[in-house]
Amino acid sequence: MTASVQVLILGLLLGGVYALMASGLTLLFGVMRVVNLAHAAFIVLAAFLSFFLWEGLGIDPLVSLVVTVPVFFVFGMAIYRLVFPRIEGSPRFTEMTVLMTFGFAFIAEGLMSYFFTGIFRQTKPPYAQDAILLGPLYVPTGQLYAAITSIVLLVALWAFLKYTRTGYGVRATMQNRDAAQLVGVDVRRVSTVAFGIGMALAGAAGALISFVFPFYPSRHWQWIAILLALVVLGGMGSLKGAVVGALGLAVISSFISTHVGAVWAPITFFGALFLMLMIKPEGLFGKKARA
């Protein structure tokens, strides 16, 4: 019983981080139908930024959020303005974003490999190696801080979408882009802000994973596969689905890793993806496509 509770705790903590990583990806699809295959690559880039802030200036990875979040927000808006308006009117916009962001992922990986080399990196603040003991149970402090920060950021995102004027525009665009434009929503401005927010979430996730996981330039291919599985499971474009999918699959993966073997843990995500596409293609909280 104790072992099961311990695995549950570790799974929930990991799921909180995965939820933050997946939230930016599903937000971009919900607002603009952009399948951003470079999302995990930008997370790794943010992790490198946090790492060098720690190594060079001694800035704690949690504090480095005040740098990575605004930097990636501006970076995201710049990318959107420079690239995506050129293909907005294309009938195959979503398919084109897949190819375009696939190229972005390779470019980002190549630049990181050239400038940072391919060795494993990880920030090591004191709390990353510590744990809180609760009788026979333990809670890794680093994962706990990362999960709490992820929850705070996700709640802030929810509050922004629900209570701000721009958030109303984002939600309206997610529900029906054409209808939102007809009632006066500046869809291009909303899309630019949403892309910036998606990238800001990637920047935040990168700062957190810098001390939770070891990383290197090519690590993003493992993560983007897991994130896509989470997004499809929860429903493309559904923030609630991304959070529920991340928590659920992280816990299941932790149990499989403990009782079957760590090598089998990633199969949890891809098995869930396969079953969901077979049984309910729109995901747990997604909407069925209308003919």
pLDDT tens string 202-260: 999 999 999 999 999 999 998 998 898 888 888 877 888 889 889 998 999 999 988 88
pLDDT at 170: 85
What is the rounded CA–CA span in Å between residue 48 and residue 216? 9
Task: Give the DSSP letter of residue 140.
Answer: E
Question: Distance between CA 218 and CA 264 in Å, rounded?
Answer: 21
Determine the pLDDT at residue 287: 66
Q: Tell me: the pLDDT tens digits for 167-205?
A: 888 888 877 777 888 788 888 888 899 999 999 999 999
Q: Looking at residue 185, what is its pLDDT?
A: 81
pLDDT at 288: 63
pLDDT at 157: 92
Q: Which residues contact 40 (CB under 8 A, 6 or more apart)?
A: 21, 105, 219, 220, 221, 223, 224, 227
What is the DSSP pairing of strand 131-134 with strand 137-140? antiparallel
Residue 88, token pair as written in the block? 């907005």
Q: Is residue 35 within 8 Å of residue 231, measured between CB atoms?
A: no
Give the residue, 263 or 18, on which the prediction is more confident: 18
Structure tokens at 207: 């700062």
Would the pLDDT of 89 be above 90? Answer: no
| DSSP E strand stretches across the chain | 131-134, 137-140
Q: Taking a C-beta distance cutoff of 8 angstroms, is the pair 21, 40 a contact?
A: yes
pLDDT band at 291 (very low <50, low <70, confident <90, very high): very low
Q: Are 200 and 70 in contact (CB under 8 A)?
A: yes
The b-or-e profile of 15-36 (16+ CB within 10 A means b, else e) is bbbbbbbbbbbbbbbbbbebbb
Q: How far is CA 159 from the centre of its chain?
A: 18
260: Cβ contacts below 8 Å, ≥ 6 apart? none
Taking CA atoms, 219 is separated from 5, 64, 126, 156, 200, in Å, by 29, 21, 24, 28, 20
* pLDDT of the residue at 203: 96
d(CA 116, CA 258): 34
What is the per-residue pLDDT across 109-162, written as a single tens digit (0 to 9) for each? 999 999 999 899 999 999 998 999 888 889 999 999 999 999 999 999 999 988
pLDDT digits (tens, 9 = 90+) for 90-114: 778 888 899 999 999 999 999 999 9
Interatomic CA distance for residues 116 and 119, integer angstroms: 8
In order of 150, 200, 264, the CA distances from 104 in angstroms are 26, 17, 30
Q: If you average pLDDT over every residue of the chain, what do you get?
A: 89
Q: What gap in Å lies between CA 51 and CA 43, rounded to an integer? A: 12
| pTM of the shown model | 0.92
**How many C-beta neighbours within 10 Å does residue 9 have?**
19
